[in-house]
Chain A
Amino acid sequence: MTINITIDNKKVTAPEGCTILQAANIAGADIPTLCHDQRVKELGVCRLCVVEVEGARNLVASCGAPATGGMKIVTDNERVRASRRVILELLLSDIGDGSAKSLSGSAMEKLLKEYGVTKSSFPRTRAKIKIDKRGPLYVHDYDKCILCRRCITTCETRIGRYVTGLTGKGNATGLATFGQAPLTGTECEFCGACIDACPTGALIENWRLKNLDCDRRAKSICTYCGTGCGIIANVKNGKITGVEGDPDHPVSHGDLCVKGRFAFDFAHHPDRLKTPMIRKRKRGKLEKATWDEAFDFIAKRLGEIKKKSGPDSIAGVSSSRCSNEDNYVMSRFMRSVVGTNNIDNCARVCHAPSVTGLAAAFGSGAATNSLEEIEGAEVIFLIGSNPQDAHPVISLKIKKAVNNGASLIIADPRKIWLTKYSTIHLPLKPGSNVALINSMLNVIIEEGLIDEQFISARTMNFDAVKQMAAGYPPAKVSRMTGVSAKDIRMAARLYASSKKSMILYGLGITEHTSGTNNVKALANLVMATGNVGRPNSGINPLRGQNNVQGACDMGALPNVFPGYQSVTDESVVSKFEERYGAKLSRSVGLKTTEYYDAIENGDLKALVIMAMDPASTDPNLNRVHAALKKLDLLVVMEIFNTRTAKMADVVFPAASFAEKEGTFTNAERRVQLFRKIIDPLQGVRPDWRIVLDLASAMGAPMPFSSPEEIWDEVARMTPQFKGINYARLEREKGLCWPCPDKSHPGSPVMYEVNFPHGLGKFNVVGNIPPKEKPDSKYPFTLVTGRRLEHYNDGSMTRRSRGLMKIRSHETVDINRDDAKMKRIKQGDRVKVISRRGEVLVRAKITDSSLPGRLFMSFHFDDALTNVLTSEGYDELSGTPEYKVTAVRLEKIKKKTSVLRSKK
């Protein structure tokens, strides 16, 4: 429906229900605004957007006033101009010295210029406000505040937090945290959305205070999680001075989290490795060496090992943090130069079950829909994932959906922050996923909520699964899961109530002995309700690392080439043999989690690791450390001297993401091009370059001279990527594979017509209990996971000064009542002991931990959490059971000098 109105004597047709401001934009009239923000509700406080409406006595604020048919509007005349000028002067009168110079560099400055306001003619009446530089990371210069409220409105509605509030009344109104607490004493998550919203610079980043200008601004993609947000780096004198969000980015739209926004200073940290190092003698020290020395050393050693024990005694670990191009040359190196399929990446320890589980159901193991579609979902089932900490910008989309009326079901053994938004929280026992999900399926079948049409037309094997589900009635499952039958029923009905129901899941589903089964169980739910192959539905594993999807896509896996083409498929292998000009293995290689057995057996002698730190991040670390020490050769490519690098025989200094170009693939299969922000540090090389140079040193050069050439080969060899090239990526802001040809627009929504092998498959899945159960000796269940402010092994984020100010050490999160029972107080030092080791750490009493359950992350060097973690793993995928470890807590006496984990 449209309406006809007149704007500045021009006849305009506008959609019914739009505001005068929106209609004016259609007409091309430029109405100034200050408090207006499209992403939050209309505030109407600055009154700058006033226009003259025929028949109205006063001027009308166009931002909120609805345009009605027949309205006659004038957006600019003397009366309107005079009002706007006076309002600008009124605001300016309480800022600085009342002159426009006080606001130089800000968005408001432009308006002042436009209306010819250089100095306010009104007297100051608001008391001067001192700048609050406590931070951390950003400051409050409230003397510049015009009380437009964009900051607090953004924080309350989009972020869901209440950090700062209005105080006082009238002209004395101000903004403050409760009790004037510094930001670290509030619930601020340092996402920076308020800074972006501020039009006067009253909220400003520390770095920008020091460097208001820059030489240039360079776009890239964030190096942290799998959301793949767009960033814009400010570069001055060859260094990154600061980072902002990219408002044009199709996924993040300018949003970032604290890491993406503030944790870029690792790139310039003095700890950056700048020279290759070799440990010439087994028990000797790592010494500086030249690149050639290092390559020769490796070529010689690898040659010896290959000759003595065969190519399969050598394995490679590729990197989910590095680019697609880095990953592809690494896997090509291992296959064509070393001659083995022993190549894997860290997906092994996180989302490998997603790949196997979803492939078993749909024929392909990746997310079915795009991240943007979260915002339009009607029901979101979030299970085993804490996006508020691990994927903050995805969490923003969930919050937006809920604000728009979507229902959120959360299944998590912890009372995570997002339960504030959920309709129902299912606090299931760690390790009882299959029982819970099968029970939900049971309810959906029993109550006739299945999509019979979809099941019969597009799937197979439903009857077997129907029979299986009958064995999981809510009453029985309630005991197994600790979730009431009533809640199971409610969640099931809610999920099945919509054709826009989307499942988002994470490592709480995959990192279990039943990981693959858990994923298959979820896929059953999706197919039973027909919630796949359509927008705003589907099942999306939230991939953790910035390029873990890409690493898998590039074939850095022991059983597939790029695009999941099998290594046991003769036609595929021949195709690659022809391309590589070398004989390739036809047997499936080892998974990283199988390496330790192989090392202990003497079957695996050498390991080449690109940008991964298993000595901090694999489970059961005491065993890992012993095994790594046993290797004949350990080669590591890194940017910092991590725990694994410290154990290596050869270390190569690599370039960070900021110093190279290439592509990353995010959780929604979007391949994104990222370009160099700064020149590589003196002495470093990009990982793909290191691998190419190593291949040359070993007499088997690969024909690439740039990342683009590497990508072009991948595209040529892989049907799903054939239509993707750098030029298109640049133009179209990334493409979601499958993208089979140059004119294909990419596939945000998969399986709209068919599944890859025709029909989707229902899989019978049984409950596989966790490897460890709590008992009298180890009565607590430890769940491990992520925290917002730090990332993975912490090697990058712990070198970011700002982030260390927010969180500087690890804690074991314990329930209030449990703490009381064990007489543990906030901040007490405790020992967390498992069957494999112990860790000393400080206790944090929190409501997010439920009775009997503890939580720790693995980001800190001084609390090596993975010393504790279980030896259990998922049979099919090899993924370790990080989510269920039986531990006990011991208070330690006050006089303990050192906080170190037992080796």
Chain B
Amino acid sequence: MNKKEKLYANVIPELMKACSNSGGVTSEAKISIAKKLSVPVTAVEQTATFFPSLSIPPAKYQIMLCKSLVCHMDKSAAIYRAIKKELKINKACVSPGGKFSLTLVNCLGLCDKGPAMMINNRTFTSLTTEKAINALRAL
């Protein structure tokens, strides 16, 4: 690989680093990444907007609940409704005050221990509605 390719290959690690709990990567951060890596800012944007993980709704605790087939069979939908109710999640997928955001995601690879969710970087498995709510209340 040449120098240009080498720099470009840092786009995703840099985006992931710049991605915060405040809901993704800011325009300023994208511009600064573009400058740092000598990559056009539209190219950074193309990559950034492709990956949903880089634009999870902002919150201190970002809840990602699996909705794929196996977890769905385990009634993840009910858990979703319960969390939504408990935290009073609005149309923008955040709780009042912005402490929590709730997003449905696809398979987390924890199907043997489902239903599963992640809150920021922590995984929570074998969920029941009760277990999920208790975990949230503990935060």
- Chain A residues close to B by CB (< 8 Å): 162-169, 176-179
Tell whether, in the assembled complex, residue B52 and residue A169 are in contact, meaning their CB atoms are under 8 Å apart. Answer: yes
Tell whether, in the assembled complex, residue B52 and residue A178 are in contact, meaning their CB atoms are under 8 Å apart. Answer: no
Most chain B beta carbons < 10 A, residue from A162, A163, A179: A162
Tell whether, in the assembled complex, residue B42 and residue A165 are in contact, meaning their CB atoms are under 8 Å apart. Answer: yes
CB-CB under 8 A from A177, the residues of chain B are 42
Residue of A nearest to B38 (CB): A420
Tell whether, in the assembled complex, residue A162 and residue B52 are in contact, meaning their CB atoms are under 8 Å apart. Answer: no
Q: How far is the CA of A177 from the CA of B45 in the complex (A)?
A: 9
Tell whether, in the assembled complex, residue A169 and residue B43 are in contact, meaning their CB atoms are under 8 Å apart. Answer: no
Residue of A nearest to B52 (CB): A169
B27 contacts A by Cβ under 8 Å: yes
Tell whether, in the assembled complex, residue A162 and residue B40 are in contact, meaning their CB atoms are under 8 Å apart. Answer: yes
- Chain B residues close to A by CB (< 8 Å): 27, 30, 40-43, 45-46, 49-52
A168 and B50 in contact, given A162-B40, A179-B27 (Cβ under 8 angstroms):
yes
Q: What's the least CB distance linking A176 to chain B, in Å?
A: 8
**Which 8 interchain pairs have the tightest Cβ spacing?**
A162-B40, A165-B42, A165-B46, A162-B42, A167-B49, A166-B46, A178-B41, A178-B42
A169 and B40 in contact, given A178-B45, A179-B27 (Cβ under 8 angstroms):
no
Tell whether, in the assembled complex, residue A167 and residue B46 are in contact, meaning their CB atoms are under 8 Å apart. Answer: yes
Q: How far is the CA of A166 from the CA of B49 in the complex (A)?
A: 8
Q: How far is the CA of A178 from the CA of B49 in the complex (A)?
A: 11
Q: How far is the CA of A177 from the CA of B27 in the complex (A)?
A: 12
Tell whether, in the assembled complex, residue A169 and residue B45 are in contact, meaning their CB atoms are under 8 Å apart. Answer: no
Tell whether, in the assembled complex, residue A169 and residue B42 are in contact, meaning their CB atoms are under 8 Å apart. Answer: no
CB-CB under 8 A from A179, the residues of chain B are 27
Tell whether, in the assembled complex, residue B52 and residue A167 are in contact, meaning their CB atoms are under 8 Å apart. Answer: no
29 cross-chain CB contacts under 8 A: A162-B40, A162-B41, A162-B42, A162-B43, A163-B42, A164-B42, A165-B42, A165-B43, A165-B45, A165-B46, A166-B46, A166-B49, A166-B50, A167-B45, A167-B46, A167-B49, A168-B49, A168-B50, A169-B49, A169-B50, A169-B51, A169-B52, A176-B45, A177-B42, A178-B27, A178-B30, A178-B42, A178-B45, A179-B27
CB-CB under 8 A from B49, the residues of chain A are 166-169
CB-CB under 8 A from B42, the residues of chain A are 162-165, 177-178
Residue of A nearest to B30 (CB): A178
Other A-B contacts than A163-B42, A166-B46, A178-B41, 17 sampled, CB-CB below 8 A, are A162-B40, A162-B42, A162-B43, A164-B42, A165-B43, A166-B49, A166-B50, A167-B45, A167-B46, A167-B49, A168-B49, A169-B51, A169-B52, A176-B45, A177-B42, A178-B30, A179-B27
Residue of A nearest to B40 (CB): A162
Q: How far is the CA of A308 from the CA of B117 in the complex (A)?
A: 102
Residue of A nearest to B41 (CB): A178
Q: How far is the CA of A162 from the CA of B44 in the complex (A)?
A: 11
Q: What's the least CB distance linking B67 to chain A, in Å?
A: 16
Residue of B nearest to A161 (CB): B40
CB-CB under 8 A from B45, the residues of chain A are 165, 167, 176, 178
CB-CB under 8 A from A176, the residues of chain B are 45
CB-CB under 8 A from B41, the residues of chain A are 162, 178
Q: How far is the CA of A86 from the CA of B5 in the complex (A)?
A: 39
CB-CB under 8 A from A165, the residues of chain B are 42-43, 45-46
Q: How far is the CA of A178 from the CA of B30 in the complex (A)?
A: 10
Residue of A nearest to B43 (CB): A162
Q: How far is the CA of A586 from the CA of B28 in the complex (A)?
A: 70
Q: How far is the CA of A794 from the CA of B49 in the complex (A)?
A: 42
Q: How far is the CA of A558 from the CA of B43 in the complex (A)?
A: 55
Residue of A nearest to B49 (CB): A167
Residue of B nearest to A167 (CB): B49
Residue of B nearest to A165 (CB): B42
Most chain A beta carbons < 10 A, residue from B27, B40, B42, B43: B42
CB-CB under 8 A from A162, the residues of chain B are 40-43
Q: How far is the CA of A163 from the CA of B27 in the complex (A)?
A: 16
Q: How far is the CA of A176 from the CA of B46 in the complex (A)?
A: 9
Q: What's the least CB distance linking A267 to chain B, in Å?
A: 36
Residue of B nearest to A177 (CB): B42
Q: How far is the CA of A162 from the CA of B51 in the complex (A)?
A: 20
CB-CB under 8 A from B50, the residues of chain A are 166, 168-169
Residue of A nearest to B51 (CB): A169
Q: How far is the CA of A165 from the CA of B40 in the complex (A)?
A: 10
Residue of A nearest to B48 (CB): A167
Most chain B beta carbons < 10 A, residue from A164, A166, A167, A178: A178
Q: How far is the CA of A255 from the CA of B39 in the complex (A)?
A: 27
CB-CB under 8 A from A166, the residues of chain B are 46, 49-50
Q: How far is the CA of A177 from the CA of B40 in the complex (A)?
A: 12
Q: How far is the CA of A778 from the CA of B119 in the complex (A)?
A: 65
Q: How far is the CA of A539 from the CA of B123 in the complex (A)?
A: 68
Q: How far is the CA of A92 from the CA of B50 in the complex (A)?
A: 24
Most chain A beta carbons < 10 A, residue from B27, B30, B45, B51: B45
